[in-house]
Amino acid sequence: MAALTVAIGEKSFPALGAAARRHVLGSLRFTVEAGQTVVITGPSGCGKTTLLNIVAGLDPRFEGRIEMPEVTRIGYVFQDPRLLPWRTVEDNLRLVLDGEKEEIARRIADVLAEVGLADAQQVYASRLSLGMARRVAIARAFVVRPTLLLLDEPFVSLDEPTAARLRRLLLDLLATHRVTTLFVTHNLREAIMLGDRLIFLSRSPARIVSDVVVPLDRAARTSEAAIESFRTRLGELPALLEQGLTEPTS
């Protein structure tokens, strides 16, 4: 049984002032199985973030439907860490939790240890490096024990060594927690490393151009050679997307 069903007819933003109505998403239909990581990629501005916001329930104004189990806990990692700078790391995580004080403290300590920030619990968010802030944002998403994880380019604007470390961290977290995941990125190698499936979108109004299974085991996902080999097997598809391919291919 699918853990997530996306059946969007279309999504548009209405005209505003001198700006005309903008048709962002066309017909999009796909499912995500429990524990699966599906990566959404495509040209800049094609509506990937809009799609995540619809799935998260942050944007209800669209034609179609989103189906998921009645009891679904969503963890969302945004492009910006969105931490409160005047609060500590612990306080930023505490804001998304309810329950007994001791249980909350234990869950926070456990997740910070998982992301390598066990010693940063009382550090104010304003004093964190961008890489550390991204770790806290990931910890905040996992501390709620999500059944559905949404990530919107969580490693954008990081230097490559830091991004590489965080990709490996996320790969480990996904292997440990097996949470159903929808991940948006522009980085094709990142998509191959983290995704069980890749869904390629066209330019707006976005439609699915291709839905590809990534047949790499855990060891291969940390191998640059294996990732590059699979990227090569995708052939001209990524380049065609950048050129504005709009019709699905068989």
Residues of the chain with CATH 3.40.50.300: 2-72+147-242
Q: Does domain 2-72+147-242 have CATH number 3.30.230.10?
A: no
- Three-state SS at 63: strand
* pLDDT at site 97: 96
Compute the average pLDDT of residues 165-190: 96
Q: Is 28 exposed, middle or buried (0-12, 13-18, 19+ CB in 10 A)?
A: buried
- Three-state SS at 234: coil
Measuring CA to CA, which residue among 154, 148, 145, 144 is closest to residue 182?
A: 148
> Side-chain half-sphere of 139: how many Cα atoms within 13 Å?
28
* pLDDT at site 149: 98
Whole-prediction pTM: 0.92
Alpha helices in the chain (DSSP H): 48-56, 89-94, 101-114, 130-143, 160-177, 188-194, 224-233, 237-242
75-107 per-position pLDDT tens digit: 999 999 999 999 999 999 999 999 899 999 999
Compute the average pLDDT of residues 117-123: 97
Measuring CA to CA, which residue among 96, 60, 91, 47 is closest to residue 76?
A: 96
* Rounded Cα distance, 141 and 101, in Å: 19
Higher pLDDT, 218 or 32: 32
Higher pLDDT, 231 or 182: 182
